[in-house]
Structure 1
Amino acid sequence: MPIPVLRRLLCVGVLLLPAAASWGETWPERDWASRPVAPSAALSEFETYAFPARDDGTRQGIRSDAVVVIRDGELIYERYAGPTKVSTPHLTWSMSKSLLATALGVAYGEGRFKLDEPVAQYYPAFQGHPSVKLGHLLNWASGLAWQEDYEYAPLRSSVVAMLYTRGRGDMARFVAEHPLDAVPGTRFRYSSGDSNVLAAALKQMVGAPAYADYPWQAVFQPLGITSAVWERDASGTFVGSSYAYMTARDLARVGLLMQRGGRWGQQQLLPTAWVEFNLTPFANYQADPAKPGEAVPGGHWWLNRHLAKANKPWADAPESTFAALGHWGQGLYVLPEQKLVVVRYADDRDKTYQHNEFLKRALAAFAAPEVQP
């Protein structure tokens, strides 16, 4: 057989192999390969913390709805509580922001925008803020005078007004009406408003006809996610800050994508430069000494990074740990060195739950001995 023909046949053969065989890795197909972790004292201690007796009357204390753990592409632990089941698309709250960043990453790889371009180029309602760039929004550094207060201060809260009252019809336009009180890119201020402006900008990036299906075509379908629901406001814009839903198993697929550097099987779904941006601390971030457990902002993901004047937020987790986080205790934790992805859905209504304590016990229970820190 001539060498060129043989070479072509070999290439075809490689393309036809499943990703797990060609890369020597396990990837979920319709469902996860399952290899449950053996019972242990460390597992018992983890469950004692994550799933204490549940008080649905007062809604106090730690109230995990679901925990799913993936190690090296395999499902090794799963438990549900309250009304949540394996098939329940759970509200992700602000983990939606990291899902939005993932969809934007695909658009970035398609050449639809650049980080240093003005937001107004893709969202005309932002023309009053010509100095705000797309990268500023992704770092929550727009400079807008925004108040991210929740149920404890509803009267002055920008986010409550956006989601529930005068801003709910067109959330991005409501955000655009806020003035600046800082130079864009110079100050971190967590803002669900920044995220919803990005969701509106995505509409022009991909075109209105494609927008309604874009998260599914760009991210969910390639990853095999079938449970996703994403609410839109009355203007048709995805509520990128808050209102995506999916099962814990499906959310774990996004974690595995990020754990493996934006690659899904043989496809580099997210450009490596985009993942690097997601996982780079915002340069002008100043840690608040009064909030030692607060994660470091990256590009719409949260990081466990040690900074010049601050220790890493989660002392017992590796510095490479990063996460998508949401209101009332939602967490998608990625620990690349341990090849772990941990999904936690919850209904925490107080501040009892601590990321570091959860991660410390998760590492003891689920990290393979040869890669434990």
Structure 2
Amino acid sequence: MPFAPFRPALRALALATCLLSSHAHGTETWPEADWPHGATPSGAAVQAFENYTFPTRDDGTRKGVRTDAVVVIRDGQLIYERYAGPTRAETPHLAWSMSKSVMASVLGVAFGEGKFQLDDPVAQHYPAFADHPDIKMRDLLHWASGLAWQEEYEYAPVRSSVVAMLYTRGRDDMAKFTAGFPADAEPGKRFRYSSGDSNVLSATLKQMVGKDYANYPWTALFEPLGIQSAVWERDASGTFVGSSYAYMTARDLARIGLLMERGGRWKDRQLLPQDWLKFVLAPFPEYQPDPKKPNEAVPGGQWWLNRPVAGAPAPWPDAPEDTFAALGHWGQALYVIPEQKLVIVRYADDRDGSYQHDAFLKLAQAAFAHGEVQP
């Protein structure tokens, strides 16, 4: 045993390395069964935030800003929450299209497990897409399949592809319904927001993970994060409605925000690969902002970004450019502001155009971004 005299030194070096690693992560605060609580801010800035976010609700007309819940996490601590209407802390709220970003996070775990690559043809993982051999996984993630989809809602139900998919002709098999659309653009060249693209992604996951599919969002994402309230509806074919029908409490959704804010890492586990985050948090390269809609968020990979692109300024000028979000119908939002270590969940029932992301974010930062945070 010629190296025995050096063992104490090696043990000391190993211990020092372990302690340094522990120190690097040990100062972080993480939720366990519940969120740790930080000091709740107060004062004029918080009052201004509440005046905008929680005005008196008009349930007769359903007009104006109609917030159901706000949860604010700063540096891993719950510092503010408030509920309105029928929503409470224990209520799993419909996420609407925030479900797309949740599904993207589930897919990110599958990506890290080597189950697919971004340049894989979609048909490789979903044979019903055989008539669209040139559409790649990255194209669906960018809402850039090139299919002739019309994402209209209750204001134009007759011509709406998404209404037909969710409620009438497509409801039994939403991905197959989407696969039946013709192309009217080259894949990967045009952004067109499509809940159909998102549901095809959910169907690709089914083939990737096989018999584990029904439990996979839980085993891959929800359980590692400690999310206990999640419910996710499936269509008649057994495919999760990845576009629209995930439910969870505001506190639980904030856990996904913290995962994203901390670079895909949960405690000491890198749950989402860095390559995945680099992709989903980068603007779609072919995106051209609509000058008539200057406050429209920039599409990433099933997430929305506050980034200046193609000569246009950042859509939310009062928020840092590294801000990104999951967004949904009727005002649902999960905002992540890495620069300020803020995660903000907003559930809502907005029925008109009163609510503005930038106004909310400006007031939220004034109310919650200040004060000491852990290093």
Report the TM-score when normalising by structure 2: 0.95
- Describe the SS at the equivalent of 1:86: coil
* Alpha-carbon distance in structure 2 between the residues aligned to 1:252 and 1:20: 25
* Alpha-carbon distance in structure 2 between the residues aligned to 1:35 and 1:364: 17
* Alpha-carbon distance in structure 1 between the residues aligned to 2:196 and 2:183: 13
Task: For residues 51-86 of structure 1, give each alpha carbon's deviation from its aligned partner in whole angstroms, at most 9, with x where no partner exists.
Answer: 000111111100000000000000000000000000
- Match of residue 353 from structure 2: 351
- Match of residue 70 from structure 2: 67
User: What aligned pairs does 1:260-271 form with structure 2 within 5 A after superposition?
Assistant: 260-271=262-273
- Match of residue 104 from structure 2: 101
Q: For residue 280 of structure 1, what is the amino acid of its counterpart?
A: A
**What's the Cα RMSD here?**
1.9
* Alpha-carbon distance in structure 1 between the residues aligned to 2:93 and 2:125: 31
Task: For residues 216-238 of structure 1, give each alpha carbon's deviation from its aligned partner in whole angstroms, at most 9, with x where no partner exists.
Answer: 00000000000000000000000
- Describe the SS at the equivalent of 2:70: strand
* Alpha-carbon distance in structure 1 between the residues aligned to 2:23 and 2:247: 28
Query: Quick check: 2:289–2:310 contact (8 Å CA) kept in 1?
Result: no
Mean Cα deviation higher: 221-230 or 306-315? 306-315
Q: For residue 305 of structure 1, what is the amino acid of its counterpart?
A: R
Q: Using the TM superposition, give the Cα deviation of residue 24 of structure 1 relative to its aligned residue in structure 2, in angstroms.
A: 1.2
Q: Using the TM superposition, give the Cα deviation of residue 11 of structure 1 relative to its aligned residue in structure 2, in angstroms.
A: 9.2
- Describe the SS at the equivalent of 1:173: helix
- Describe the SS at the equivalent of 1:343: strand
Q: 1:309 aligns with which of 308, 311, 324?
A: 311
- Describe the SS at the equivalent of 1:201: helix
Q: Using the TM superposition, give the Cα deviation of residue 23 of structure 1 relative to its aligned residue in structure 2, in angstroms.
A: 3.1
Query: Quick check: 1:65–1:346 contact (8 Å CA) kept in 2?
Result: yes
| Residues 1:159 and 2:185 aligned together | no
Q: Using the TM superposition, give the Cα deviation of residue 368 of structure 1 relative to its aligned residue in structure 2, in angstroms.
A: 1.7
* Alpha-carbon distance in structure 1 between the residues aligned to 2:120 and 2:335: 30
- Match of residue 144 from structure 1: 147
Query: Quick check: 1:338–1:367 contact (8 Å CA) kept in 2?
Result: yes
Task: For residues 190-218 of structure 1, give each alpha carbon's deviation from its aligned partner in whole angstroms, at most 9, with x where no partner exists.
Answer: 000000000000011111x1000000000
- Describe the SS at the equivalent of 1:328: helix
What fraction of aligned residue pairs are identical, expressed as a percent? 69
- Describe the SS at the equivalent of 1:344: strand
Q: 1:279 aligns with which of 258, 278, 281?
A: 281
Q: 2:174 aligns with which of 171, 174, 189?
A: 171
| Cα 1:235/1:291, change in 2 over 3 Å | same
Task: For residues 304-348 of structure 1, give each alpha carbon's deviation from its aligned partner in whole angstroms, at most 9, with x where no partner exists.
Answer: 001132111001000000000000000000000000000000000
| Residues 1:184 and 2:174 aligned together | no
- Describe the SS at the equivalent of 1:75: strand
Q: 1:194 aligns with which of 186, 193, 197?
A: 197
4+ runs of 1 displaced by more than 2 Å?
A: 1-15, 19-23
* Alpha-carbon distance in structure 1 between the residues aligned to 2:98 and 2:63: 22
User: What aligned pairs does 1:312-327 form with structure 2 within 5 A after superposition?
Assistant: 312-327=314-329
- Match of residue 123 from structure 2: 120
- Describe the SS at the equivalent of 2:310: coil
Query: Quick check: 2:41–2:368 contact (8 Å CA) kept in 1?
Result: no
Q: Using the TM superposition, give the Cα deviation of residue 4 of structure 1 relative to its aligned residue in structure 2, in angstroms.
A: 7.8
| Cα 1:305/1:370, change in 2 over 3 Å | farther
Query: Quick check: 1:143–1:186 contact (8 Å CA) kept in 2?
Result: yes
Q: Using the TM superposition, give the Cα deviation of residue 369 of structure 1 relative to its aligned residue in structure 2, in angstroms.
A: 5.2
- Match of residue 84 from structure 2: 81
Query: Quick check: 1:252–1:332 contact (8 Å CA) kept in 2?
Result: yes
Q: Using the TM superposition, give the Cα deviation of residue 37 of structure 1 relative to its aligned residue in structure 2, in angstroms.
A: 2.2
- Describe the SS at the equivalent of 2:108: helix
Q: 2:243 aligns with which of 237, 241, 244?
A: 241
Q: For residue 246 of structure 2, what is the amino acid of its counterpart?
A: A
Query: Quick check: 1:23–1:265 contact (8 Å CA) kept in 2?
Result: no
- Describe the SS at the equivalent of 1:324: strand
* Alpha-carbon distance in structure 2 between the residues aligned to 1:147 and 1:339: 37
| Residues 1:57 and 2:60 aligned together | yes
Give aligned pairs, total: 368
- Match of residue 23 from structure 1: 26
Q: For residue 89 of structure 1, what is the amino acid of its counterpart?
A: P
* Alpha-carbon distance in structure 2 between the residues aligned to 1:7 and 1:193: 57
Query: Quick check: 1:255–1:333 contact (8 Å CA) kept in 2?
Result: yes
| Residues 1:293 and 2:295 aligned together | yes
| Cα 1:57/1:271, change in 2 over 3 Å | same
Task: For residues 276-305 of structure 1, give each alpha carbon's deviation from its aligned partner in whole angstroms, at most 9, with x where no partner exists.
Answer: 111100000000011111000001100000
- Match of residue 330 from structure 1: 332
* Alpha-carbon distance in structure 1 between the residues aligned to 2:266 and 2:295: 32
* Alpha-carbon distance in structure 2 between the residues aligned to 1:85 and 1:92: 15
- Describe the SS at the equivalent of 1:33: coil
* Alpha-carbon distance in structure 2 between the residues aligned to 1:252 and 1:11: 34
- Describe the SS at the equivalent of 1:227: coil
- Describe the SS at the equivalent of 1:98: helix
| Residues 1:3 and 2:3 aligned together | no
- Unpaired runs of at least 5, structure 1: none
* Alpha-carbon distance in structure 2 between the residues aligned to 1:44 and 1:20: 37
Query: Quick check: 1:141–1:186 contact (8 Å CA) kept in 2?
Result: yes
